[in-house]
């Protein structure tokens, strides 16, 4: 047992024992807070990942004589907080560009860095609105399925099968679900 310094008496001995206990309690509380923050962060990521659902997707057959550039459309249901679509890749290669109207309702499109996905809502990537532009991809023929992998800022990567259709012959399955 530690001896009290001269002039401290019994009170100095009690303080000498309490200080290490207080330090241990502060360190333990800090560890709990840090661990709790990490767990909360994981829970937020898991909630974001589980809150997005991808619906019906389709890709138009590239027009004959074109440079194999075509559009892709799909439904994105977000049951959680706002997120954004950052990038997309396909199972047939090529480059996918995110596109949006210059102004709402315009047929003039521009390339965008991301597409906002509002919380608690359905976003439809559709002709004349936000959509995906695929260029330089491998062969796509009507009736074939390709995979689109969408990467969200919070929700991570998610894949959906997209039917290659030919709207000129009535082969579009857009938003059946």
- Assign 3-class secondary structure to 13-65: HHHHHHHHHHHHHHHHHHHHHHHHHHHHHHHHHHHHHHHEEEEEEEEECCCCC
What residues have CB less than 8 Å from 149, skipping those under 6 apart? 88, 89, 90, 91, 157, 158, 159
Q: Which CATH number does the domain housing residue 90 bear?
A: 2.60.40.1890
Q: What is the structure's pLDDT at 105?
A: 86
| Residue 39 pLDDT class (50, 70, 90 cuts) | very low
CA distance to 145, 151, 166, per residue, from 156 (Å): 22, 5, 30
- Calpha distance 6→56 (Å, rounded): 82
Compute the mean pLDDT over every residue in the chain, rounded to the nearest whole number.
79
Is 31 within a domain?
Answer: no
Determine the structural domain holding residue 60 and report its residue range: 52-169
Check: pTM over 0.75? Answer yes or no.
no
Tally of domains in the chain: 1
Pairwise CA distance, residues 171 & 154, whole Å: 34
Is 37 within a domain? no
Q: Is residue 11 part of a domain?
A: no
For residue 79, being part of any structural domain is answered with: yes
Q: Which of 133, 122, 145, 129 is nearest to 75 (CA)?
A: 122
* pLDDT score, position 172: 57
Separation CA 83–CA 155 (nearest Å): 7
Spatial distance between the Cα atoms of 102 and 99, rounded to a whole number of angstroms: 9
pLDDT digits (tens, 9 = 90+) for 91-140: 999 999 999 999 988 999 999 999 999 999 999 999 999 999 999 998 89
The pLDDT value given to residue 7: 54
- The answer to whether residue 158 sits within a structural domain is yes
In a domain? residue 29 = no
**65 part of a folded domain:** yes
């Amino acid at each position: 047992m530690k001896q009290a310094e001269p002039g401290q008496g019994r009170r100095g001995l009690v303080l000498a024992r309490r200080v290490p206990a207080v330090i241990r309690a502060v360190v333990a509380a800090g560890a709990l807070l840090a661990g709790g923050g990490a767990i909360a962060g994981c829970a937020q990521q898991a909630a974001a990942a589980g809150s997005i659902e991808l619906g019906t997707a389709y890709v138009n057959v590239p027009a004959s004589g074109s440079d194999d550039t075509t559009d892709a459309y799909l439904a994105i249901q977000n049951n959680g907080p706002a997120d954004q679509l950052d990038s997309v890749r396909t199972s047939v290669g090529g480059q996918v560009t995110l596109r949006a109207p210059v102004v709402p309702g315009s047929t003039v499109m521009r390339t965008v860095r991301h597409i906002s996905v509002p919380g608690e809502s359905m976003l439809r990537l559709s002709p004349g609105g936000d959509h995906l532009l695929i260029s330089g991809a491998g062969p796509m023929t009507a009736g074939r399925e390709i995979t689109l992998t969408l990467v969200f800022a919070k929700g991570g990567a998610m894949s959906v099968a997209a039917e290659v259709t030919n709207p000129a012959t009535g082969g579009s399955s857009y938003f059946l679900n």
